[in-house]
Structure 1
Amino acid sequence: MQKLTKTELKFTNKIEKKIKKTIDKYILFNKKDKILVAASGGKDSTVMLYVLKKLGYDFEAITINSFIGNYSKQSLENLVSFCEEMDIKLHHISLRDEFGYSLCYIRSILKSKGINLKSCTICGVLRRYLLNKYSRKLGANKLVLGHNLDDEAQVFMMNLLRGDFSVSARLGPITGVVQSEKFVQRVKPLYFIRETDIEKYSKIQKFPVKYGECPCSYDSLRRSMKEVLSSLEIINPQVRENIIDSFLRILPVLKKVYKIEKDIETCKKCGEPTSQNICKTCQIIYNLKND
């Protein structure tokens, strides 16, 4: 997109090679797969779209609009513009169309009923639900996520603090512990790329991206963990890499211990796959609409 200096070109080539190495090493996907990229208009997914296009992969993009005020509006406008310029087909899924409400409204109503779920929790549940549902409907067998090294280190440490290794067993460059035709496999080509490097790449290419944190994440454990890791970086510059290296060493054991032997359930309300009788999304919507 931009004419780069030798230094910039050296840096961007390094990032692209690292992404390609992750794709190849973990066999995340190949050019025969039906690939769908989850995009938000942020730096991570925008870099992911650009690099995959540059590497010659055929794919489409999908975005979930949570209607978080001007933040979502600007991000969507940026994403639409970028996809048009890059000739990438974009599927736009609306939280309001699917559930009748915006993310902020859902949280406020639940809170008024004494259900104090954080915005990040609600958003994560609903987005994962819609991404899997529409990836399957669109015939994709690979869903590409823009999660980076920082994201993954934060999540592992959050699970560690909660004492929940079963969730960590589903993490890694390829997610999940169970193979099911009901779940579209999620993969993470940016798994070993630092957030600062992704932002640098994005700014070098002058991508139309809104930088900064989601305004709804101010009270999230993730943001607190991000601050903790930034503090630890002062005494251990490789803290994120070390966390992920340690995690990947124990991941095979975690997958074996927490492998679900029984078949995936089907939600009795919506018919989507779940590990419970009623999926988390339907639980949220039920609590939203009922006293």
Structure 2
Amino acid sequence: MSWSERLVQDHRKRTDRAIHRACSHLASDPLTFAKFQELLICARTRAPLLFDAPVKDGRHLGVDALFHLARFRSAHIRPTAEWKGTLASWRSSVASLAHHLTCRYEIPAFMASVWYAVDAAGDEKRSWVIAHSRGASFRSLDLPVTMTRKMEHIFLTSDDHLGLEPALRRAELLALGMPTAFMKAILSTRLATDLRNGGFWRTVWMFFIAHVEELEPTQIGPMIDYIQSVRHDRIQIETQDGMMEAAPPLPSFCMKGRTVSSMLRLMREWHRDLGTSHSTAAFTWTRSPFKP
């Protein structure tokens, strides 16, 4: 057996495992299970390339899309049987099927990525897309970032390969006037997909824009890492009872009154102290003789 044949065979096995896992999850809900089986059969006959979707962390993106479309069966506005299918790529297949089942109006193809999203906010994002496809403006939805009309316009013209969160972040940054090099640097950090604390991060973006002549694109990522760590990331503390969590070191950190020089100094000191024995020892102690 050639290498390419083994690769195809391995992908088929991963696909079968993903289908089996989805069936197991839906076994307790007969109606949703039946809808998943219907979608599965329809996709096999009318959009076979959907099953060419990649497998990431054990999850088959095409099967995940069918799984979530079945879970949202109450939002379907057209019968599965009326879908004509497509011989396009797996992404286009998901977009076409999702549009047929749930969309009253045309929406950008990149929004179909919500159907194979597996994060905790996946269902919320799917609800946003459904609401938008029924006529709601995207900026009117309960989003984690405040969206202006200009941001919405940029967002709705995002490239097909972008996920929903990177598209939102990109639109926010470009609408604010962020230089392209800075925008790309931000999208290479966790904040491309983590849209929490939108109001605070908006102040950081305005700081970058105001000091664009003093900053280099290579400094953006490390500065974001520093700010995220001291303001939002909970600390892992090693104690005699095992690892515990504590609040971030500077939860009230803000950009007011900061200069580029002071931010770079704080960032460098933080990077220098990372992983040192001193920083670990500062958060360890011996057991108290009193009751916990």
TM-score range, shorter chain: under 0.3
TM-score in terms of structure 1 length: 0.23
Bigger radius of gyration = 2
**Structure with the larger RCO, 1 or 2 (CA within 8 Å, 6+ apart):** 1
Q: Which structure features the higher share of helix residues?
A: 2
Q: Under a length normalisation based on structure 2, what TM-score does the superposition of the two structures give?
A: 0.23
Higher strand share: 1
